[in-house]
């Protein structure tokens, strides 16, 4: 990312001007907040990136249709049920969610985007869902960002929020976001649900372009378990309430905005990785010296998603052989005889072979909240970073009974 200044702030999706949000209890699966709503008080440019899984949930298909004109004002989300693989009823139920929110907010249904997360293959309990939508509309508040972030959680252990402020032509502007993601996470766009709001005025084409770049460098570089969900999406609404001169060219204001947008995405990405199901520590894989960025990304993602590497991180075992093995099957082009590997600041391999190192110090490096591996391919100037987490007994326990 460019070294353009931005300042972290609080408030999540309600940090930008003109946005309210809510999280309501519908008891879709449990007695908890499980319907979220984010709303702009004026028309907003909209952009989205969606799962590449050929099996797409009904809300993904509906939102892809609604966002085509690049305009939206609200996002309604439920947790506890994915509304996926339930036949034609799925689209009817997704439309019903959009229609209910639109009616209560006084909007065209096409300006309401819809998302769902939870169990696949079960019909939505629409009486409860629609009651939740009604309560969420009634509870909209400029302080409701955290409630909304809580309502989209499934197996997440913490709500994930981020916000930053920047200056655009002397005008203060804000970008806020919330995300959910803990399991069924793998880099293949978008790897979870994420909703971003901003009071920046920007052309929808450039908004989509900035989002694509940010996603490629952040959400597409995170993995928990190698599963790309049927429901993944990242959405951004930009309502222009800051009063900045509308960004319509790739000028300095665009670069500033794009940098701040990526910063929000990065913070949410790392929060998703750190909260992987059953995880005890965040894994960061840094690759440098690659011939191309594509190669760097391939290696970083392969290492971060290797079950053997992840298990070694859980066991605090500096098993560098698993790291170079994963790099080798990543599809990247490099010479194995020039590869150096570090665990934290300890070099454990040089020119593709092992070095003497202190196992005790290496274990210390793997005992904190974050484990960092650095792989230098000595094959060029490109680099990339991927994020993941360790693989623990609790991951199996959580997913062994997820549906029931």
Q: Kindly list the catalytic residues.
A: 191
In whole angstroms, give the CA distance from residue 351 to residue 381: 17
Q: Is the peptide bond before 70 cis (omega within 30 degrees of 0)?
A: no
Instruction: Collapse the DSSP code of 379 into the 3-class scheme (helix H, G, I; strand E, B; otherwise coil) and give the result.
Output: coil
Task: Name the H helices within 106-233.
Answer: 126-138, 145-151, 204-217
Task: Name the H helices within 242-292.
Answer: 252-274
Strand order in the sheet with 346-350: 353-354, 346-350, 340-343, 370-376, 282-290, 382-389
Cβ pair 22, 77 in contact under 8 A = no
Could you give the angle at the alpha carbon of 218 between the alpha carbons of 215 and 352, nearest 5°? 130
In whole angstroms, give the CA distance from residue 46 to residue 39: 12
In whole angstroms, give the CA distance from residue 301 to residue 220: 9
């Amino acid at each position: 990312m460019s070294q353009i200044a931005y300042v972290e702030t609080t408030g999540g999706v309600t940090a930008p001007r003109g946005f309210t949000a809510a999280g309501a209890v519908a008891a879709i699966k449990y007695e908890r907040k499980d319907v979220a709503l984010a709303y702009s008080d004026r028309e907003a440019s909209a952009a989205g990136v969606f799962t590449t899984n050929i099996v797409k949930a009904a809300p993904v298909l509906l939102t892809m249709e609604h966002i085509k004109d690049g305009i939206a004002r609200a996002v309604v989300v439920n947790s506890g049920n994915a509304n996926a693989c339930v036949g034609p009823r799925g689209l009817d139920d997704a439309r019903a969610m959009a229609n209910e929110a639109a009616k209560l907010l006084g909007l065209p249904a096409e300006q309401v985007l819809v998302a769902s997360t939870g169990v696949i293959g079960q019909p939505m309990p629409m009486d409860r869902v629609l009651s939740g939508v009604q309560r969420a509309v009634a509870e909209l508040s400029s302080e409701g960002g955290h409630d909304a972030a809580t309502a989209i959680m499934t197996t997440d252990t913490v709500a994930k929020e981020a916000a930053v402020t920047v200056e655009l032509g002397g005008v203060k502007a804000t970008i806020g976001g919330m995300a959910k993601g803990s399991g069924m996470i793998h880099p293949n766009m978008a790897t979870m649900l994420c909703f971003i709001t901003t009071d920046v005025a920007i052309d929808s084409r450039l908004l989509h372009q900035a989002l694509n770049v940010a996603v490629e460098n952040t959400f597409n570089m995170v993995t928990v378990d190698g599963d790309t969900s049927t429901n993944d999406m990242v959405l951004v609404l930009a309502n222009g309430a800051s009063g900045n001169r509308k960004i319509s060219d790739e000028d300095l204001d665009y670069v500033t905005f794009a940098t701040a947008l990526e910063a929000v995405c990065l913070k949410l990405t790392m929060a998703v990785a750190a909260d992987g199901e059953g995880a005890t520590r965040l894994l960061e894989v840094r690759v440098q010296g690659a011939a191309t960025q594509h190669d760097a990304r391939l290696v970083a993602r392969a290492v971060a998603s290797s079950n053997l590497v992840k298990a070694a991180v859980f066991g605090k075992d500096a098993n560098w052989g698993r790291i170079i093995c994963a790099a080798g099957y990543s599809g990247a082009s490099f010479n194995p005889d020039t590869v150096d590997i570090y665990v934290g600041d300890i070099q454990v391999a040089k020119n593709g072979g092992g070095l003497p190192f202190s196992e005790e110090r290496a274990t210390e490096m793997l005992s904190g909240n974050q484990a960092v591996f650095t792989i230098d391919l000595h094959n060029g100037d490109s680099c990339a970073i991927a994020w993941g987490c360790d693989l623990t007994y609790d991951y199996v326990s959580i997913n062994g009974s997820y549906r029931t």
